[in-house]
């Protein structure tokens, strides 16, 4: 079976904008969520970078409610939910929306490890900007600082001894090779 090349759509997150590196727009479609403006202080350097990208053709889109709910429930399972901003969740949900169109392929550009972790869990392709990409998919859990018991879920207070817990990585697996 011949699979036609899908048109790639790059979705950038706040970390991509903050990286300040020039993003090559030739032949690439670049989008982000409309909510990203709220994470950037108007008038600041990052906002100017954002405006520059807008002038270069960066489009703003809003994700569907259904995809946002899916991202939410998956990131609760992986334990990344507390590490993701509303914008991060929107970026991931936008990728799900775009991938529903079988002519298109979403690629998230982000240096954020929790974003990459959730993206991988949702079969979303991601690329890093500055830092090395994650090579293991991980699941956050926590460990009680008192009785040292480990939990797979993210709980703040140990149900056994009542001490606060701290986050640990409870599980890792290799990132699958994807085309």
Count of residues in contact with Zn ion, rule CB under 5 A: 7
In this structure, are residues 68 and 90 in contact, taking their beta carbons and an 8 Å threshold? yes
CA distance 25 to 20: 14
Q: Is 143 in the site for Zn ion (CB under 5 A)?
A: no
Stretch that binds Zn ion, among 14-22, 31-39, 69-77, 159-167 (CB under 5 A): 159-167
CA distance 118 to 84: 10
Bridge partners of 106, per DSSP, are 9
Instruction: Provide DSSP, 102-125.
Output: TTEEEEEE---HHHHHHHHHTT-E
Q: Is 144 in the site for Zn ion (CB under 5 A)?
A: yes
CB of 113 or CB of 151, closer to Zn ion: 151
Q: Is 161 in the site for Zn ion (CB under 5 A)?
A: yes
In whole angstroms, the minimum distance from the beta carbon of 143 to Zn ion comes to: 9
Q: Is 147 in the site for Zn ion (CB under 5 A)?
A: yes
Near Zn ion by CB under 5 A: residue from 100, 160, 168, 169: 160
């Amino acid at each position: 079976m011949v699979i036609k090349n899908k048109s790639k759509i790059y979705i950038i997150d706040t970390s991509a904008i903050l990286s300040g590196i020039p993003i090559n727009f030739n032949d690439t479609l670049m989008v982000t969520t409309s909510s990203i403006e709220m994470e950037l202080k108007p008038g600041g350097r990052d906002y100017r970078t954002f405006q520059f990208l807008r002038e270069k053709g960066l489009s703003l889109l809003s994700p569907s409610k259904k995809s946002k709910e899916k991202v939410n429930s998956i990131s609760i399972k992986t334990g990344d939910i507390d590490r993701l901003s509303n914008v991060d969740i929107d970026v991931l949900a936008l990728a799900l929306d775009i991938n529903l169109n079988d002519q298109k392929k979403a690629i998230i550009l982000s240096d954020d490890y929790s974003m990459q972790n959730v993206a991988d869990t949702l079969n979303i392709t991601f690329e890093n900007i500055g830092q090395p990409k994650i090579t293991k998919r991980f699941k956050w859990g926590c460990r009680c600082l008192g009785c040292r018991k480990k939990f797979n879920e993210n709980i703040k207070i140990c149900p056994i001894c009542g001490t606060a817990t701290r986050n640990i990585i409870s599980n890792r697996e290799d990132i699958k090779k994807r085309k």
